[in-house]
Amino acid sequence: MGLGEALKGAITRFMSRGRHDKEALEELIRDIQRALLSADVHVELVMEISDRIRRRAAEVTPPPGVSRREMVFKIVFDELVQLLGGAHGPYKPLKKPTVLMVVGIQGSGKTTSVAKLAHYFSRNGYRVGVVCADTYRPAAYQQLQQLLAEKNIPVLGEPESDDAVGIAKKGVEILRQQGAEIIIVDTAGRHKDQESLMSELKEIQKLIQPDEVVLVLDSTIGQRARSQAEAFHKVAGVGWVMLTKMDTSARAGGALSAVAATGAPVRFIGTGERLEDIETFSADRYLTRLLGMPDLVSLVERVKLAEVSFSESSAERMLSGRFTIEEMVRQARELTKMGPLEKIISSLPIPGAKSQQLDDLEAQVRRWEAIVNSMTPEERRDPTIIDSSRARRIARGAGVSEKDVKRLIKQYSEMRRLMKRLKRDAGRIPKGLLEGLMRRGIGGPLEG
Ligand SMILES: Nc1nc2c(ncn2[C@@H]2O[C@H](COP(=O)(O)OP(=O)(O)OP(=O)(O)O)[C@@H](O)[C@H]2O)c(=O)[nH]1
Ligand SMILES: [Mg+2]
């Protein structure tokens, strides 16, 4: 029985039990433990996840309209998502330049993935360069060049040389000098033997000092993914995983163990042979696929909506200073999904809040989303660079007026300023205040 089925069985049993009590919870935890252990998830991780489910289930108070049983399911789902490396926003390089060294066994899809990643990053506004340090596969360099033909992305390599280490070092150096922001190094998958492959990788790593080692794993290989992941992890320390061939595989369960074994999250998946067939990975979507229980998963959505929208983590994120304009708009969107807005709003101690209508909020948030979508990544990171000509461009792209763009930016800087102020009093923020501020803020700048 695969991991997906085992987890599904555990959850179905739990959901169909007549009573929800301690005994039912313990049975569920035991079933989950068994499922994870038989899929080779490390015993320590299994114990950790069990403890967390038990503790959270004991502490939680379900929101109105959600049963305790549903709430427990939501907790289990959350914890499994965490096990998969957590929910991540889109991948952002740690620093510039970021050097990624891509490793994996023969045929796993490394070279294809290197090209896909390069193309993806380039389309997201980064200057990207690629190095082919695979001297074993015949025509490895040509393959990479062909994949990226006419994409305006430099592909460095020396087809005549067999010094992979030297090629990697030189290639990275040249791309650094050329001002590349993300440098991706493709490595060999085939070799004389496993040992010589690993020692070559080690040597390349030592010389180029990559910021992150990316493991490419074929999702169709099932349980073998784990030993592969461990072998590479031991040698090079895997930073994150790209899971390939998700289009041809329904057996992605092995990958779960692999990810759990290394503690490295999956950040991207490959979904076909073309350059465009790449998706940022979302642990919850993946889990949905693995469990194959759309009904229960939409239940998770329902519980999410019923929960107070300002979860601890988003309040924390907002207060920790990493409050981006995207985050603000995302939070605003969350608020519009909350249902009986009038009721919530009128319960807030904010003058003027009562008059806001759901329709207004919807329309405003939609405008905000359009505006943020029309910004470049750079502008999203730092909206203060948006001058009049940028604002005009953004407004045109979003189909709104320039004034709308300026209002949003003003709103954002106001919110940020408030966040900073609130941070000082973090311990004493009354419940609901942040949410109230956001709601109020959707209507327009807080002051003036
Ligand atoms: N369907 C599908 N095929 C893929 C995907 N990624 C890679 N492939 C195919 O898998 C095969 C091997 O891909 P490569 O990128 O050459 O694999 P590699 O790991 O670089 O192989 P070596 O360099 O020989 O070790 C090719 O036929 C790719 O088109 C994917 O996400 N979906
Ligand atoms: Mg290759």
* pLDDT tens for each residue of 372-431: 999 998 999 889 999 999 999 999 999 999 999 998 998 888 777 766 766 665 554 454
| Residue 78 burial (C-beta neighbours within 10 Å; 0-12, 13-18, 19+) | buried
Contact 284, 87 (CB under 8 A): yes
Q: Find the range with the poorest average confidence among 19-23, 89-93, 292-296, 369-373.
A: 292-296
Which atom of ligand 1 lies closest to the CA of 108? 19
pLDDT at position 422 is: 62
CA distance 277 to 271: 5
Residue whose Cα lies nearest atom 13 of ligand 1: it is 109
Which of 112, 198, 248 best tests ligand 1's pocket when mutated (most atoms within 8 Å of CB)?
112
Residue ranges of the chain that CATH labels 1.10.260.30: 308-442
Which ligand number lies closest to the CA of residue 215?
Answer: 1
**Band (446; pLDDT cuts 50, 70, 90):** very low
pLDDT at position 304 is: 61
pLDDT at position 344 is: 41
Alpha carbon of 159 to ligand 2 centroid (Å): 13
pLDDT at position 257 is: 65
Most confident of 54-58, 112-116, 280-284: 112-116
Q: Is the CB of 82 under 6 A from ligand 1?
A: no
In the block, tokens 């320039």 appear at 402
For 45, other C-beta atoms within 10 Å of its C-beta total: 17
CA distance 91 to 407: 28
Q: Hey, what are 33's tokens?
A: 């433990």
E strands, 175-310, where? 182-187, 212-218, 240-244, 266-270, 278-280
CATH no. for 98-281? 3.40.50.300
Q: Over 90: is that where the pLDDT of 142 sits?
A: yes
Alpha carbon of 276 to ligand 2 centroid (Å): 18
Read off the amino acid at residue 84. Answer: L
Q: Is the CB of 314 under 6 A from ligand 1?
A: no
Which ligand number lies closest to the CA of residue 105?
Answer: 1
Alpha carbon of 155 to ligand 2 centroid (Å): 14
Report which of residues 15 and 172 the model is more confident about.
172
Axis-axis angle for helices 402-424, 325-336 (nearest 10):
90
Q: Find the range with the poorest average confidence among 56-65, 129-138, 229-238.
A: 56-65
Report which of residues 21 and 408 the model is more confident about.
408
Q: Is the CB of 441 under 6 A from ligand 1?
A: no
CA distance 216 to 268: 10
The continuous run of DSSP H or E covering 351 comes out as none
**Band (193; pLDDT cuts 50, 70, 90):** confident
Q: Write out the CATH class of domain 308-442.
A: mainly alpha
CA distance 152 to 138: 24
Which atom of ligand 1 lies closest to the CA of 112? 15
Per the prediction, the chain carries an average pLDDT of 81
Q: Hey, what are 65's tokens?
A: 């309209």
Q: Which residues contact 281 (CB under 8 A, 6 or more apart)?
A: 88, 243, 265, 266, 267, 268, 269
Which atom of ligand 1 lies closest to the CA of 115? 15
CA distance 222 to 388: 54
Alpha carbon of 247 to ligand 1 centroid (Å): 12
**Band (436; pLDDT cuts 50, 70, 90):** low
Q: Over 60: is that where the pLDDT of 135 sits?
A: yes
pLDDT at position 126 is: 95
pLDDT at position 441 is: 53
Q: What is the pLDDT of residues 312-328, one digit of tens each?
A: 455 566 666 567 888 77
DSSP 63: P
Q: Find the range with the poorest average confidence among 109-113, 156-160, 259-263.
A: 259-263
CA distance 168 to 156: 9
Q: Hey, what are 157's tokens?
A: 């390599």
Residue ranges of the chain that CATH labels 1.20.120.140: 3-86
CATH no. for 3-86? 1.20.120.140
pLDDT at position 383 is: 92
pLDDT at position 299 is: 65
Closest by CA position to 245, among listed 223, 273, 285: 273
Which atom of ligand 1 lies closest to the CA of 277? 31
Q: Which residues contact 337 (CB under 8 A, 6 or more apart)?
A: 305, 309
Q: Is the CB of 270 under 6 A from ligand 1?
A: yes
pLDDT at position 198 is: 93
